[in-house]
Structure 1
Amino acid sequence: MSRQNNLSVMAHGPGDLRLEDIPIPEPGPNEVLLQMNAVGICRSDVHYWEHGRLGSFYMEKPMVLGHEGAGTVTKVGLGVQHLKVGDRVAIEPAYPLHNDQFCKSGRYNLSPTMFCSATPPYHGQLSQYYVHNANYCFKLPDCVSCEEGAFIEPLSVAIHACRRARVKMGSKILICGAGPIGLLNLLVAKAMGVAQVAICDLSISRLEKAKELGVNFIIKVEKQTPQDLAQKVWAVLGEMPCTSIECTGTEFCVQAAVYATQSGGTVLLVGHGPDLVSVPLLNAAIREVDIRGMFRYCNTYPMAIAMLASKKVDVKPLITHRFPLSRAIEAFEITRKQLGIKVMLKCDQV
């Protein structure tokens, strides 16, 4: 197909972000070609732009960014039965390349061989047109917008987090960090029947957003020890939370989450920080506090779509900025400076 009319957001290396036309791809067997509608910008996209890498993943060639997307099917490949031209879909960006033991046990997110949009060496979704595996494209009901569809990826992170954190109806929990993932964990936990949520952050503006979304208690992180922060959590909740969901990746908040959580409770690590972090392990061990990790999500898209369709979760207040694709560099600057919550690029508006 022609090289024209497929404007894409391409990272060429640290600090080098460009808008370029690339060829419109053809869908292969079991694939669909999508005209992208909305794609959210994630901090990992910004990290690739700034550093050319994320964790152990290094960019060795220019890469299209973006993995939080929704689009409209414009062409179907051989063997695709459940989708047709005109269907609007949310895109699950990561899927296993082989049917290994993790897939067979239902934990395909842990498979060592994965395709993942905007993870080297694979291009992402910030283009006018994008091809994806049809089995990982989920049809959106009429009552769910494409912007909401683009939120299903980070919403899935929160659903998987609450599952891994053993969130229980009627419980009290702590969330460390009021960024997009922390706020989505707030919404999901509330939808799952949590009685009270306390959330802590350095940013007053983000804590105010949490209040708008229905958090019970906000805690401004000051110059204090992790134990002091834990004491504040106990004071506002009236008791120790049974679950703490840590979304910052900072050593301080990891320690505070351990100290704050009740004996027999769970600390769930969502945020990615340094490789080595000092943790009060003996404190956790003698109180049987389980420290659990998570990686992406699995089997979450149907639940995320149901939450949005039923209005149990409303993600629209989290969208603070919208830009056409042609203003992508400006949108990335806004995200880098953390001037909003979720910045959305409209790929069908050039």
Structure 2
Amino acid sequence: MTQTPEVHPDPFEVATMKAAVMHGIRDVRIETRNIPQVRPGHVLVRIKTVGVCGSDVHYFTHGKIGPFVVKAPIILGHESMGVIAQIGEGVKGLQTGDRVTLEPGYPCRTCEYCKKGQYNLCPEMTFMATPPVDGAFVEYVEWPADFVFKVPDMVSDDAAALIEPLAVGVWSVKRGGVKPGDAIVVYGAGPIGCTTLQAAKAAGATTLIAVDLEDYRLDLIRELGATHTINARHEDPQRRIREITGRNLPESHSGADVVFETAGTLKTCQQSMLVARPGGTVVLVGLPPNPMVELDLVAAASREVDIRGIFRYANCYPAALQLVQEGRVNLDKMVTQRYALDQTQEALIFTDEFKNVSMKVMVDF
């Protein structure tokens, strides 16, 4: 039987599009917006699927993340992929019909940080779904072509959208300096914990420990490569990590080479400092709700534990795409639920309230 090809309206004949717009805390409405005009050097992308990120949920439930406060209606969503619908003047290397993933932040390209390759620290950064910039829970997005990446045929739509959280994992592993044979710990077995652990494995880490409170997530991260999982409801993570990483050393000198804090809680931030070995590294990936966290800095300093933060990522999309293309990272396994664009509010509520039975929720167009 001949399959009828998928048909989509010409964006230049249909001048409007649907968008999921957040008007206030726990208040997302489906509205009609004009399709954006394509500027030189930009492309218009018809969005196909978007992952729901923890930051989306935080804006949805609290209306702010640190200094970023929602003061006007905003479109959330930044883990996105789609198909190019129109090419702007001067764009090379892309064409209409290409499947692409969108790096959701772009810098000024001219400041000192950009010129040093640290564009994630650019003071003029524009980032999707960060007030006041609209995100990707919308049918069409216009975006700079140099931050749009073609997706290989063997990479699924879901995986293409989830290159964004994988980029966080790749950057975290780079900041942590993970080496072949390292023992690593990931606090928090959510999506960022899963991508960070897989990126660490791809970098050569051989002892991969995940700590969480939910068996559902721990079971899944074990399927993705964790060699040890610890449910902190039932075990003392600090004791278990010291047992796993002991290497015939005194307890005071056991611990992981690199610890990644991805849960963003006071307790996990504090424990991360204690389970790194002397000379080890702690990478702070998660964002605790209260930025003032009490830490034992004397213990960290006397054991020469390096403490490093990360802010998003820089130049990680090509590497992340390659890891998925080569089968070294599995992003499809992380997708657990799906919603339609009209159900964006339900998707955000589910992600917030059902962490015990979900990993990554996707919104399909």
TM-score between the two structures when normalised by the length of structure 1: 0.95
Aligned to 2:170: 159
Aligned to 1:172: 183
Aligned to 2:87: 76
Gaps of 5+ in 2: 1-11, 247-253
Cα distance in 2, alignment partners of residues 345 and 23 from structure 1: 21
Amino acid at match of 1:29: P
Question: Which deviates more, 304-313 or 338-347?
Answer: 338-347
SS in 2 for 1:288: coil
Q: Is the 8 A contact 2:46 2:140 kept in 1?
A: yes
SS in 2 for 1:323: strand
Matched, 1:232 2:240: yes
Aligned to 1:301: 317
- What count of residue pairs does the alignment treat as equivalent? 344
Q: Deviations over 1:145-170 (max 9, x none)?
A: 22111000000000000000111111
Cα distance in 1, alignment partners of residues 65 and 255 from structure 2: 35
Aligned to 2:269: 254
TM-score between the two structures when normalised by the length of structure 2: 0.91
Aligned to 1:208: 219
Amino acid at match of 1:84: Q
Q: Is the 8 A contact 1:40 1:69 kept in 2?
A: yes
Amino acid at match of 2:71: E
SS in 1 for 2:233: coil
Q: Is the 8 A contact 2:109 2:119 kept in 1?
A: no
Superposed, which structure 2 residues align to 1:142-153 within 5 Å? 142-153=153-164
Question: Which deviates more, 79-88 or 47-56?
Answer: 47-56
Cα distance in 2, alignment partners of residues 333 and 158 from structure 1: 25
Cα distance in 1, alignment partners of residues 162 and 352 from structure 2: 19
Q: Deviations over 1:131-155 (max 9, x none)?
A: 1111100111111122111000000
Aligned to 2:6: none
Moved beyond 6 Å, runs of 4+ = none
CA 124–2 in structure 1, closer or farther in 2 if over 3 Å, else same: farther
Instruction: Say what the alpha-carbon RMSD is for the aligned residues.
Output: 1.5
Residue 313 of structure 1: which of 329, 334, 338 is its match? Answer: 329
Cα distance in 2, alignment partners of residues 154 and 160 from structure 1: 10
Amino acid at match of 1:263: P
Cα distance in 2, alignment partners of residues 117 and 241 from structure 1: 35
Amino acid at match of 1:12: H
Residue 60 of structure 1: which of 67, 71, 76 is its match? Answer: 71
Cα distance in 1, alignment partners of residues 245 and 299 from structure 2: 21
Aligned to 1:187: 198
Amino acid at match of 2:298: L
Aligned to 1:323: 339
Cα distance in 2, alignment partners of residues 50 and 21 from structure 1: 23
SS in 2 for 1:262: strand
Q: Is the 8 A contact 1:264 1:288 kept in 2?
A: yes
SS in 2 for 1:89: strand
Matched, 1:141 2:156: no
Cα distance in 1, alignment partners of residues 346 and 164 from structure 2: 23
Cα distance in 2, alignment partners of residues 306 and 7 from structure 1: 33
Question: Which deviates more, 154-163 or 215-224?
Answer: 215-224
Cα distance in 1, alignment partners of residues 183 and 57 from structure 2: 33
Q: Is the 8 A contact 2:261 2:268 kept in 1?
A: yes
Q: Deviations over 1:246-270 (max 9, x none)?
A: 1112121122111111111100000
Q: Deviations over 1:47-86 (max 9, x none)?
A: 1122222211112211111100001101011111121101
Amino acid at match of 1:293: G
Amino acid at match of 2:351: T
Aligned to 2:284: 269
Aligned to 2:229: 218
Cα distance in 1, alignment partners of residues 129 and 14 from structure 2: 20
Aligned to 1:336: 352
Shift of 1:42: 0.5
Matched, 1:282 2:298: yes
Q: Is the 8 A contact 1:199 1:217 kept in 2?
A: yes
Cα distance in 1, alignment partners of residues 269 and 76 from structure 2: 30
CA 124–179 in structure 1, closer or farther in 2 if over 3 Å, else same: same
Cα distance in 1, alignment partners of residues 310 and 33 from structure 2: 35
Cα distance in 2, alignment partners of residues 34 and 61 from structure 1: 24
SS in 2 for 1:264: strand
Amino acid at match of 1:236: I
Q: Is the 8 A contact 2:28 2:344 kept in 1?
A: no
Gaps of 5+ in 1: none
Amino acid at match of 2:305: V
Cα distance in 2, alignment partners of residues 66 and 229 from structure 1: 33
Shift of 1:243: 0.7
Cα distance in 1, alignment partners of residues 313 and 342 from structure 2: 31
